[in-house]
Amino acid sequence: AIPLFIVAGIVLLAFAAPRGAPRVAIPVWPIAVIAGFILATANLPAIQASAEVGRTNHTATLLPDGRVLVAGGGYNAVTAKATIYDPATNAWAPIAGMNKPRVLHAAVALPGSRVLVVGGTEPNAPASAEVFDAASGSWRLIDGPSSIGFAVKALVLGDGRVFAIGLDRTGGGSSAEIFDPATLSWRVAADVPRIQQVVGVEAVQGGAVLVIGNGATQALLVREGTVTPVGSGTSPVSAAVPLGDGRILVLSGAEHGEAPVAAAIVGASSRTDVASPTVRRYDFTGIALRDGSVLIAGGNQVSGSPALGRPVADAELFDPATGRWSTLPPMNQARAGHTYTLLPDGRVLVIGGATREGPLASAEIFDPSTRTWTLTAPVR
């Protein structure tokens, strides 16, 4: 059987290749087609029905009442399943699924207890979006963007509209569009160059958006109708964490986790190199906490021969004020391809992800005040 992994937006087919051999760049899309082919021809075991649901490359969105909506994701197959976690009761409640299976999509909270989900559907299918209404627990398909297909990042602008950017439906280019929640309509934001994968977006003053991509042009400033390159480089970007102040912590250069991770804080007109994290890893991301520090946990390291990704549980904290890193206790479960959600009380909910054995139906909460990790009830 040929192992298939979908971790942090990358489809990995693990072949026996000499250690140190160059990677073959496989397009992120089409995940569903690749998964179906492998399942049909390599006799991979079917996912067994269970009350516990493992997932990776899903979305986890904070609702106004403090609960968290988890939707979509994939591993051997892409799912439309959705569930809600209530931190107050430590309980998961499966709800109606989305109208379409999605992976590598984006989700953002809208006014009125609604959530917009965009992208991540089948290859070459019409661009797709839908809205979840937390009051009724229902999903509604709406007109999708003109081109955005998958590997999507999105954020809410200061005027309440939503900026979304990702690869187009064919994977041959990139598209940036703006969604108006009042009219449920989309318009093209700007003509952006192809970005191999968008890894971070952050709103800056004046309605512009700072976009960090993994490619030759790593940083773009996008305004309606204009795109301005503000930085470039040759090292692959592993993670880009918005700091919430118009800047992004960019972590790059960790090819297979065999080299130190270079770190820099990038703004619309500035770049400041900072100390590197202590742990070598790739296929990871992080989240800014309420005090401005950044939590990074999990991801992959290379191990074995041939070299394969091995998820880790290591966690670190970065202080942008001092530019220093500090080591945290590890998570209870090694994982990669998981999500982070900042809860109203300042804690962080980490959901799902995967190991070599498959997707994880576990979640845990990090408490910055005690620097401890606590497993939640299994994901349902």
Domain with 13 in it? 4-375
What are the backbone angles phi and psi of residue 37, rounded to the nearest 5°? -65, -45
Residue 269 DSSP class: S
The residues with which 365 forms a beta bridge, in sequence order, are: 349, 374
The confidence score (pLDDT) of residue 305 equals 44
Q: What is the DSSP string of 290-325?
A: TTS-EEEE--EEEETTTTEEEE---EEEEETTTTEE
pLDDT tens readout for residues 298-316: 999 876 544 567 899 999 9
Evaluate whether 371 touches 364 at the Cβ level (below 8 Å): no
Instruction: Give CA separation, 370 vs 286, 319, 354, in Å.
Output: 19, 17, 26
Kindly report the number of other CB atoms within 10 A of residue 124's CB atom. 12
Residue 257 DSSP class: G
**Binning pLDDT at 50, 70 and 90, where does residue 31 land?**
very low
The confidence score (pLDDT) of residue 254 equals 58
Tokens 């998570």: give the residue: 331
What are the backbone angles phi and psi of residue 154, rounded to the nearest 5°? -150, 155
**Binning pLDDT at 50, 70 and 90, where does residue 281 land?**
confident
Task: Name the more confident of 127 and 178.
Answer: 178
Spatial CA neighbour of 286 closest among 251, 257, 253: 251
**Binning pLDDT at 50, 70 and 90, where does residue 64 land?**
very high
The CATH number of residue 20's host domain is: 2.120.10.80
When divided into structural domains, the chain yields a total of 1
Q: What is the largest CA-CA distance in the chain?
A: 54
pLDDT tens readout for residues 92-117: 999 999 999 999 999 999 988 999 99
Q: Measure the CA–CA gap between 372 and 358, rounded to whole angstroms.
A: 26
Residue 350 forms part of a structural domain: yes
Element of type H or E holding 38 = helix 31-41
Residue 380 forms part of a structural domain: no
What percentage of the chain's residues is helix, strand, coil (to nearest 5)? Answer: 5, 45, 50
Residue 8 forms part of a structural domain: yes
pLDDT tens readout for residues 157-169: 999 999 999 988 7
What are the backbone angles phi and psi of residue 31, rounded to the nearest 5°? -65, -50
Q: How confident is the model over 279-299, as a mean pLDDT?
A: 93
Residue 9: partners with Cβ closer than 8 Å, 6 or more residues away: 28, 57, 104, 151, 197, 337
The residues with which 358 forms a beta bridge, in sequence order, are: 355
Beta strands, E only, 169-311: 174-180, 185-190, 198-203, 209-213, 219-223, 226-231, 237-242, 248-252, 262-266, 271-274, 286-288, 294-297, 300-303, 308-311
